[in-house]
Amino acid sequence: MTNAEDLKESYQATTFKLAGSGARNVGVLKEALQNVDAELASDMYGSGEVIEKFERKMARMLGKEAAVFFPSGTMAQQIALRIWSDQRDNLPAAYHPLAHLEIHEQDGLKKIHRMEPVLLGGADRLMRFSDVEKLGDSVSSILIELPQRELGGELPDFAELEAISDYAKQNGIFLHLDGARLFEVLPYYGKTADQVCALFDSVYVSFYKGIGGVAGAILAGKTPFVAEAKIWKRRYGGDLISLYPYILAADYYLEKRLPKMAEYFEASKALAKSFNALQDVKTRPEVPVSNMFHVHVSRETEEMQAIFTAVQGKTDVGIVANLRDGISAGSCQFELSLGDSIQDVSREKLEEVFQELAQALRK
Contacting positions for a second copy (CB under 8 A): 23-30, 33, 36-42, 44, 70-76, 78, 105-108, 111-112, 208, 214-215, 231-232, 234-246, 248
**Rounded CA separation 289/185 (Å):** 7
Question: Do 344 and 16 meet the contact criterion of CB atoms below 8 Å apart?
Answer: yes
Q: Which is nearer to a second copy, 147 or 212 (CB)?
A: 212
Of the two residues 207 and 308, which places its CB atom closer to a second copy in the complex?
Answer: 207
Q: Which residue lies nearer to a second copy by CB, 256 or 284?
A: 256
Q: How many CB atoms lie within 10 A of CB 93?
A: 28
Q: How far is the CB of 260 from a second copy (least distance, A)?
A: 21
Nearer to a second copy, 40 or 123 (CB): 40
CB of 263 to a second copy, least distance (A): 24
Residues 6+ apart with CB under 8 A from 258: 183, 211
Distances (CA, A) of 240 to 216, 245, 363: 12, 11, 56
Nearer to a second copy, 120 or 214 (CB): 214
Pick 96 or 113: Cβ nearer a second copy: 113
Query: Least distance (Å) from a second copy to the CB of residue 249?
Result: 8
Q: Smallest gap, in angstroms, from Cβ of residue 51 to a second copy?
A: 13
User: What minimum distance in Å lies between the beta carbon of 5 and a second copy?
Assistant: 16
- Spatial contact of 298 and 330, defined as CB atoms under 8 Å apart: yes
Helix H or strand E encompassing 191: none
Q: How far is the CB of 302 from a second copy (least distance, A)?
A: 25
Rounded Cα distance, 151 and 96, in Å: 11
- What is the separation of C-alpha 204 from the centre of its chain, rounded to a whole number of angstroms? 10
Nearer to a second copy, 196 or 205 (CB): 205
Strand partners, 318: 17
Q: Is 127 helix (H, G, I), strand (E, B) or coil?
A: coil
Of 48, 49, 51, 42, which is closest to residue 70 (Cα–Cα)?
A: 51
Instruction: Point out which residues pair with 145 in neighbouring strands.
Output: 178
Q: How far apart are CA 305 and CA 307, in angstroms?
A: 6
In the bound complex, what is the minimum distance in angstroms from residue 95's beta carbon to a second copy?
A: 16
